[in-house]
Structure 1
Amino acid sequence: MEASHLLDEREDDRPNGGYHVMVTIDDRPRPQTTPTGRPHPSPVTPSGDQVDDKPDDSQPTHLARGFRKALRKNQDYIRIPVPRSSGSRLPSEWWKTGIAFIWAGFNLVLTTVMITVIHERVPDKSVSPPLPDKFFDYVPRVEWAFSVTEVNGMILVALWFIQWLFLKHRAIVGRRFFFLQGMLYLYRMVTMYITTLPVPSMHMHCAPKLYSDSHGKIERVLQLVSGAGLSITGSHLMCGDFLYSGHTVMLTLTFLFIQEYSPRSLLWRCYHVICWLLSAVGVVCILMAHEHYSVDVVVAYFITSRLFYWYHTIANNQALRGSPNNYLNQTWWNRVFNFLEKNVKTTVPCTFSWPLSLPSVCFKNPCKSYSIVQSTRDE
């Protein structure tokens, strides 16, 4: 018996996809051929007449005719479970995003605690005057400049949050943002603790020191957290968190993520320019307000941009992850990176989708997909 197979593989409309394989088996006799590919001549009877290979159906019996009709009418369909295709190369894994969010929140709260501790160590202006700064030598203080910085920062954070909500792979992008934010505030805690700088300007008024008043320190921590650490909310009355600038970190980080996870069309480029202006003007206004030394802003920009570029360089190049020549793998946070990016096998595309989608309704069992094997026999 000779079988001819017709395979038709089409992706299913269901979310995970599937394949239908149809196999048609035909056992009808085929004419025999010679080695050259020509059919054998039909045998000749002694009388000279050729004998037809086909059976004589001129007078089929009733039983044969009924059997043939039954085979044609009742074709056999066999359901064979087919394993689904491998999982997506960009799985959401929201639980990892939750861990990254907790990491960022923990470091933000710990930073406020550290600011409360450092505030007690800041020397008095009469004892330790501000350090010389070249920018301050040429640009006088502008009182309203720092408010512009914080307003620009809130606008950028709001724009990034809206853009993030409409990203298709928001879980992956979100955990990258939270991880980097937590890392930057962790580094900030270290730098401002090991070196406590005097106030950068004589205009600054620091809250009284509490020394051993633990209850008062806890109230200041809660006040600072509730006001998001902003001066316009009246929550930031402490000094000492100078090296490096937290405002510069947020202005730079939000712009880098806005630019990285958005298309490169002309309309979006205009959007990028607007966001860049908001970020750049906010950073300059920090210096114009004399709220931070120039070195605070420079170090904050350098650490934020380098950490962003290092992380995304490894994330977007699969060959670098296991390469022995990639010295970025020597970073102490490389194990955390491998945990967060383990199942991300390709570059995250800049695609958008609605934040909320209606659940799909399946009328059939969505847990299995089948192949249909059809067999027909003519006798």
Structure 2
Amino acid sequence: MLTARVRELGRRSLMFLMRRIRRNWWLDRVCIAFLVCVGAVFGLSYYFMNVMANVASQRSKIIEDQLGSRYTLPDVFFGFIGYVDLLWLTDMFDALMFVPTVLLVLSHERPWRVVSRLGLAWALASLIRITTVAITSVPDPRPTCKYAEGNVFTTFALHRCGDAIYSGHTLIFVICAMVWASFAPKNIIGRSLTVFVWCLCIAGSLVVIANRAHYTIDVLLAWYIAPGAWFTVAWFWYWHVTRKGRLLRIEFPVEVGRHRDKDTEEMCQRRRMELGLLADGTPFDPAAMYLGLARSREVQDSNTILHQVNEKDSETPEQMGMQDEYLIEVGGTPAVGAGYTAESDMERAFSEDFGTRPQHH
């Protein structure tokens, strides 16, 4: 009996997983190409950030040799936070931030959207760090750091000397926290986990300072730049992806306007109206639709009038009067200040796309 229940549970879990993959993870060719481009941009930005960090490290070695000693710049927080030589704690907080973020992506109903926003924001912040890490060299705050040696293009190291402005570890902390702030479930569990992740982010930043891996200014700059990169990508994504009806399998994998399976149809319709999108994801252009319907109505009216002229001689006066009334009704124009006429083509087109009728006043 227990074995049968376990098998049934496994079968249901597998069916749920396959259904979720088909509904939420399946992509078309355009979206796959887009994600490949995002991955390439992210990889290149991270690689060249490592190259510039090696350049900064080697230049710091030259400066130290010229000075003949290593010294530390004054830092207010160094006086409040004691020195802790436990660099593994800094890397551990990277893992502590990654694990819940990965779980959030796996459980989200629009996972590729989260991945895209995360990758683009991280890549943008990394591109900014490329321009800062090797521009101004400062004495390393950690007395036990090691300088990068060898070819700057093939050397990969963590916690090297000279890799200062600004903190890459804090960048990871804040970007992951921003993912939770934007995409966590809007319930008590989601909000509680978001607060927990932000507490981890603050604790990790303090650990970076305590390990003297960075100056406080490096950590603060990461706190300023990471949210800026995140909201820059969010702005670009909203206006050039969501509002334009692009990358639909990433933006709306189930249905245009649907964020979660539990969303009602009325909620999805309202989102589509607010975004200016039709049910198939194409942008809604009222002017173009009205002109197109006006042209089609002119053709329809012309055909009807021609048909009336051809049969005019065989109709009685009563029939002709009834037909005139019919023509007036079919060719009715939108009433001024009262929306569209009850049976106009514009209203029928609107109803087919949104499933509702405009309210008449």
SS in 2 for 1:121: helix
Contact conserved, 2:75 with 2:216, CA < 8 A, in 1? yes
User: How many percent of aligned residue pairs carry the same amino acid?
Assistant: 19
Query: TM-score by structure 1 length?
Result: 0.53
SS in 2 for 1:120: helix
Evaluate the alpha carbon distance shift between residue 130 and residue 256 of structure 1 in structure 2; reply closer, same or farther with a 3 A threshold.
same
Asked if residue 297 in structure 1 is aligned to residue 219 in structure 2, the reply is: yes
Evaluate the alpha carbon distance shift between residue 284 and residue 218 of structure 1 in structure 2; reply closer, same or farther with a 3 A threshold.
same
- Following TM superposition, by how much is the alpha carbon of 1:149 offset from its aligned partner in structure 2, in angstroms? 2.8
User: Which residue is 1:266 aligned to?
Assistant: 188
What are the residue-to-residue correspondences of 1:1-379 with 2, within 5 Å? 93-122=31-60, 123-124=63-64, 126-127=68-69, 129-144=71-86, 146-201=87-142, 203-207=143-147, 210=149, 213-214=150-151, 217=152, 219-221=154-156, 224=157, 236=158, 238-316=160-238, 321=239, 343=246, 351=260
* Residues 325-374 of structure 1 deviation map (CA, whole Å, 9 limit, x = unaligned): xxxxxxxxxxxx66997616889865489xxxxxxxxxxxxxxxxxxxxx
Count of aligned pairs between the two proteins: 226
* Residues 304-328 of structure 1 deviation map (CA, whole Å, 9 limit, x = unaligned): 0122123324544xxxx4xxxxxxx
Contact conserved, 2:184 with 2:191, CA < 8 A, in 1? no
Paired letter, 2:71: P
- Following TM superposition, by how much is the alpha carbon of 1:115 offset from its aligned partner in structure 2, in angstroms? 1.6
Paired letter, 2:84: V
Mean alpha-carbon deviation: is it higher for 111-120 or for 242-251? 111-120
- Calculate the aligned-residue CA RMSD, in Å: 3.2
Q: Using the alignment, how far apart are the partners of 1:126 and 1:295 within structure 2?
A: 25
Paired letter, 1:140: G
- Following TM superposition, by how much is the alpha carbon of 1:294 offset from its aligned partner in structure 2, in angstroms? 0.8
SS in 1 for 2:93: helix
Evaluate the alpha carbon distance shift between residue 264 and residue 338 of structure 1 in structure 2; reply closer, same or farther with a 3 A threshold.
closer
Q: Using the alignment, how far apart are the partners of 1:259 and 1:164 within structure 2?
A: 13
Evaluate the alpha carbon distance shift between residue 352 and residue 161 of structure 1 in structure 2; reply closer, same or farther with a 3 A threshold.
farther
SS in 1 for 2:127: helix
Mean alpha-carbon deviation: is it higher for 271-280 or for 295-304? 271-280
Paired letter, 2:74: P
* Residues 271-328 of structure 1 deviation map (CA, whole Å, 9 limit, x = unaligned): 1122111111001111111211111011111010122123324544xxxx4xxxxxxx
- Following TM superposition, by how much is the alpha carbon of 1:184 offset from its aligned partner in structure 2, in angstroms? 0.7
Q: Using the alignment, how far apart are the partners of 1:150 and 1:313 within structure 2?
A: 31
Evaluate the alpha carbon distance shift between residue 179 and residue 314 of structure 1 in structure 2; reply closer, same or farther with a 3 A threshold.
closer
* Residues 144-164 of structure 1 deviation map (CA, whole Å, 9 limit, x = unaligned): 3x4333212212112212221
Contact conserved, 2:141 with 2:215, CA < 8 A, in 1? yes
* Residues 55-76 of structure 1 deviation map (CA, whole Å, 9 limit, x = unaligned): xxxxxxxxxxxxxxxxxxxxxx
Query: TM-score by structure 2 length?
Result: 0.56
* Residues 117-147 of structure 1 deviation map (CA, whole Å, 9 limit, x = unaligned): 2211003274452111111123221223x43
Tell me: higher relative CO, structure 1 or 2? Use CA pairs within 8 A at least 6 residues apart.
1
Q: Which runs of 5+ in 1 are unaligned?
A: 1-14, 16-89, 225-235, 322-336, 354-379
Mean alpha-carbon deviation: is it higher for 159-168 or for 185-194? 159-168
Contact conserved, 1:262 with 1:350, CA < 8 A, in 2? no
- Following TM superposition, by how much is the alpha carbon of 1:267 offset from its aligned partner in structure 2, in angstroms? 1.5
Contact conserved, 1:263 with 1:350, CA < 8 A, in 2? no
- Following TM superposition, by how much is the alpha carbon of 1:183 offset from its aligned partner in structure 2, in angstroms? 0.9
The answer to which structure has the higher strand fraction is 1
Q: Using the alignment, how far apart are the partners of 2:261 and 2:88 within structure 1?
A: 33
Contact conserved, 1:206 with 1:239, CA < 8 A, in 2? yes
SS in 2 for 1:220: coil
- Following TM superposition, by how much is the alpha carbon of 1:198 offset from its aligned partner in structure 2, in angstroms? 1.2
Contact conserved, 1:199 with 1:240, CA < 8 A, in 2? yes
Evaluate the alpha carbon distance shift between residue 192 and residue 100 of structure 1 in structure 2; reply closer, same or farther with a 3 A threshold.
same
SS in 2 for 1:343: coil
Q: Which runs of 5+ in 2 are unaligned?
A: 1-18, 20-27, 263-361
Contact conserved, 2:117 with 2:234, CA < 8 A, in 1? no
